[in-house]
Amino acid sequence: MAADSMEIDDALYSRQRYVLGDTAMQKMAQSHVFLSGMGGLGVEIAKNIILAGVKALTVHDTKQCTKWDLGINFFIHEDDITSQRNRAEATLHRIAELNPYVHVATSTVPLDETTDLSFLKQYQCVILTEVSLLLQKKINDFCHAQQPPIKFISADVYGVCSRLFCDLGDEFEVLDTTGEEPKEIFISNITQSNPGIVTCLENHPHRLETGQFLTFREVNGMSCLNGSTHQITVVSPYSFSIGDTSDMEPYLHGGIAVQVKTPKMFYFERLEKQITNPLCLVADFSKPEAPLQIHIAMLALNHFQENFGRRPNIGCPQDAEEMLKIAMSISETLENKPQVNGDIVKWLSRTAQGFLAPLAAAMGGVASQEVLKAVTGKFSPLQQWLYIDMLDIVTPLEKMGSEEFLPRGDRYDALRACIGDSLCQKLHDLNVFLVGCGAIGCEMLKNFALLGVGTGQDKGLVTITDPDLIEKSNLNRQFLFRPHHIQKPKSYTAAEATLNINPYLKIDSYINKVCPATENTYSDEFYTKQDVIVTALDNVEARRYIDSRCVANLRPLIDSGTMGTKGHTEVIVPHLTESYNSHRDPPEEEIPFCTLKSFPAAIEHTIQWARDKFESSFSHKPSLFTKFWQTYLSAEEVLQRIKSGESLEGSFHVIKTLSRRPRSWTQCVELARVKFEKYFSHKALQLLHSFPLDTRLKDGSLFWQSPKRPPFPVKFEFNDPLHYGFIVSAAKLFATVYCIPFTEKDLSEETILKIVSAVKVPEFRPSNKVVQTDETARKPDHIPVSSEDERNAIFQLEKSILSNEALENDLQMKPISFEKDDDSNGHIDFITAASNLRAKMYNIEPADRFKTKRIAGKIIPAIATATAAVSGLVALELIKVVGGYPADAYKNCFLNLAIPIMVFTETAEVRRTEIRNGISFTIWDRWTIYGKEDFTLLDFINAVREKYGIEPTMVVQGVKMLYVPVMPGHIKRLKLTMQKLVKPSADKKYVDLTVSFAPEIDGEEDLPGPPVRYYFVQEDN
Nearest to 144 by CA among 253, 273, 314, 308: 273
Contact at 8 Å (CB) between 153 and 367?
yes
d(CA 447, CA 504): 14
Question: Is the bond leading into 195 cis (omega within 30 degrees of zero)?
Answer: yes
Question: Is the bond leading into 900 cis (omega within 30 degrees of zero)?
Answer: yes
Burial class (CB in 10 A: 0-12, 13-18, 19+), 79: exposed
Q: How far is CA 731 from CA 423, 676, 727, 740, 757, in A?
A: 64, 11, 6, 10, 15
E strand residue ranges, 517-645: 532-535, 557-563, 566-572
d(CA 103, CA 54): 8
Q: How far is CA 301 from CA 162, 852, 937, in A?
A: 12, 53, 69
Distant-in-sequence, close-in-space partners of 518: CB < 8 Å, separation ≥ 6:
512
Nearest to 429 by CA among 451, 396, 401: 451
462 sits in which H/E element: strand 461-465
Other Cβ atoms less than 10 A from the Cβ of 701: the count is 10
Other Cβ atoms less than 10 A from the Cβ of 531: the count is 20
Q: Where are the alpha helices (DSSP H) in 9-67?
A: 10-20, 22-28, 40-52
Count of positions (residues) in the chain: 1021
> Assign residue 254 a region: left if phi > 0, alpha if psi is -120 to 50, beta otherwise?
left
197 sits in which H/E element: strand 197-200
Contact at 8 Å (CB) between 195 and 233?
yes
725 sits in which H/E element: helix 721-737
d(CA 305, CA 28): 36
Other Cβ atoms less than 10 A from the Cβ of 597: the count is 17
Beta-bridge partner residues of 566: 563, 896
Q: How many Cα neighbours within 13 Å face the side chain of 122? A: 8
Q: How far is CA 640 from CA 149, 634, 637, 653, 807, in A?
A: 84, 10, 5, 17, 16
Contact at 8 Å (CB) between 470 and 497?
no
Contact at 8 Å (CB) between 952 and 998?
no
Q: Is 955 helix (H, G, I), strand (E, B) or coil?
A: strand
Contact at 8 Å (CB) between 547 and 527?
no
Contact at 8 Å (CB) between 344 and 844?
no
Q: Is 811 helix (H, G, I), strand (E, B) or coil?
A: helix
d(CA 685, CA 593): 20
The one-letter code for the residue type at 473 is: S
Q: How far is CA 94 from CA 69, 77, 838, 863, in A?
A: 15, 11, 49, 20
Contact at 8 Å (CB) between 913 and 920?
yes
Residues carrying an active site annotation: 594
The one-letter code for the residue type at 223 is: S
> Assign residue 83 a region: left if phi > 0, alpha if psi is -120 to 50, beta otherwise?
alpha
Question: Is the bond leading into 965 cis (omega within 30 degrees of zero)?
Answer: no
Pairing between strand 557-563 and 566-572?
A: antiparallel
> Assign residue 883 a region: left if phi > 0, alpha if psi is -120 to 50, beta otherwise?
alpha
